[in-house]
Amino acid sequence: MSTLLEVRDLVKTFGEGETATRVLRGLNLTLAQGDLAALLGPSGSGKSTLLTILGTLMRPTSGSHVMLSMDMTRASDAELTDFRNRHIGFVFQFHHLLPDFTALENVVFPTAVGVGRETRAAKERGRELLQRVGLSDRVHFRTTQLSGGQKQRVAVARALMNRPELVLADEPTGNLDRESAGRVMELLKEINKEERTTFLISTHDEKIAAACRRQVRVVDGTAVADEVSLS
Ligand code: ADP
Ligand code: MG
């Protein structure tokens, strides 16, 4: 399998001097193309910090970060934004959908940013994705008319809009009941299998983690106990 992304000796420190918090302390992680990996660790262990750095939304204090053979630490802010829009999708614990917009508008919105309009092709892709996540009968429903699980499935469709190689999901099921959480996880698994999209999914939930093929644990700011199962 080919390498999608690699971080080496990743360090992230917040603040300076005596109040400095060293969150990541030389973390190493390699993701292969097509990985379905859970990111585990107690609250405050640095999972969100790591996902934010891997998503190029924040720069590390030191260490190397290479994705698709591009050195992220040498890229300009504009290059990072462009790279992120092309290659990375995000799903958050709180869906961050626009409340007054329909499901379809929320999915298509990322492509409209910078273009200023939603093309017919984008709408077509948006409809396909909503069908893919089981919401073909909710395309024109507003966010406020959807259940928590449905909103999160819209958020998954939105993350896939630009056909990213990597989807970073930060506790995507953290706000859902067990049944909805299970369904969202099943969906991520299917997409991983069918489209070979790589997923890194942070979670507290051992059941959700067990559904992934790989489990990475963040302990003391480094990734350890990287287990790979063959299921
Ligand atoms: P997790 O997602 O595993 O719960 P986080 O990455 O959110 O952990 O946080 C790890 C640590 O980093 C926490 O101690 C948190 O307070 C600290 N931290 C995160 N972001 C910031 C920030 N922007 N400024 C200062 N401290 C931060
Ligand atoms: Mg977090």
**What ipTM was predicted for this assembly?**
0.98
The answer to whether the CB of 43 is under 6 A from ligand 1 is yes
The answer to whether the CB of 217 is under 6 A from ligand 1 is no
Ligand whose nearest atom lies closest to the CA of 25? 1
Report the CATH number that the domain containing residue 25 is assigned in CATH. 3.40.50.300
The answer to whether the CB of 44 is under 6 A from ligand 1 is yes
Tokens of 153: 């499935």
Residue 92: strand, helix, or coil:
coil
The answer to whether the CB of 52 is under 6 A from ligand 1 is no
The answer to whether the CB of 221 is under 6 A from ligand 1 is no
Beta pairing partners, 134: none
Which of 10, 43, 45, 49 should be mutated for ligand 1, with most atoms under 8 A from CB?
49
User: Residue 85: exposed, middle, or buried by beta-carbon count in 10 A (0-12, 13-18, 19+)?
Assistant: middle
Assess contact for 10 and 36: CB atoms under 8 A: no
Distance CA 161, CA 13 (A): 33
The residue segments making up the domain with residue 90 are 3-98+163-228
Residue 158: strand, helix, or coil:
helix
Centre a 10 Å sphere on the Cβ of residue 63 and count the other Cβ atoms it contains. 17
- Whether 214 is in a domain gets the answer yes
The answer to whether the CB of 42 is under 6 A from ligand 1 is no
Tokens of 38: 């859970």
- Whether 107 is in a domain gets the answer no
> What pLDDT does 224 receive?
74
Centre a 10 Å sphere on the Cβ of residue 220 and count the other Cβ atoms it contains. 13
Q: Which residues of 167-184 are buried (b: 16+ CB within 10 A; e: fewer)?
A: bbbbbbbbbbeeebbbbb
- Whether 91 is in a domain gets the answer yes
User: Residue 103: exposed, middle, or buried by beta-carbon count in 10 A (0-12, 13-18, 19+)?
Assistant: buried
In total, how many domains does the chain have? 1
- Whether 207 is in a domain gets the answer yes
Assess contact for 204 and 175: CB atoms under 8 A: no
Q: Which residue's CA is the closest to the ligand 1 atom numbered 18?
A: 14
pLDDT string in tens for the chain (231-residue length): 799 999 999 999 999 888 899 999 999 999 999 999 999 999 999 999 999 999 999 999 999 999 999 999 999 999 999 999 999 999 998 878 999 999 999 999 876 665 555 688 899 999 999 999 999 999 999 999 999 999 999 999 999 999 999 999 999 999 899 999 999 999 999 999 999 999 999 998 888 999 999 999 998 888 776 665 544
- Whether 157 is in a domain gets the answer no
- Whether 32 is in a domain gets the answer yes
Which of 16, 21, 39 should be mutated for ligand 1, with most atoms under 8 A from CB?
21
- Whether 88 is in a domain gets the answer yes
Tokens of 217: 């644990």
Assess contact for 27 and 10: CB atoms under 8 A: yes
User: Residue 67: exposed, middle, or buried by beta-carbon count in 10 A (0-12, 13-18, 19+)?
Assistant: buried
The pTM assigned to this predicted structure is 0.93
Distance CA 73, CA 67 (A): 10
Distance CA 150, CA 140 (A): 13
- Alpha helix (H) residue ranges in the chain: 47-54, 77-87, 103-112, 120-132, 148-160, 178-195, 206-210
- Residue among 2, 55, 65 nearest 29 (CA): 65
> What pLDDT does 231 receive?
46
- Whether 131 is in a domain gets the answer no
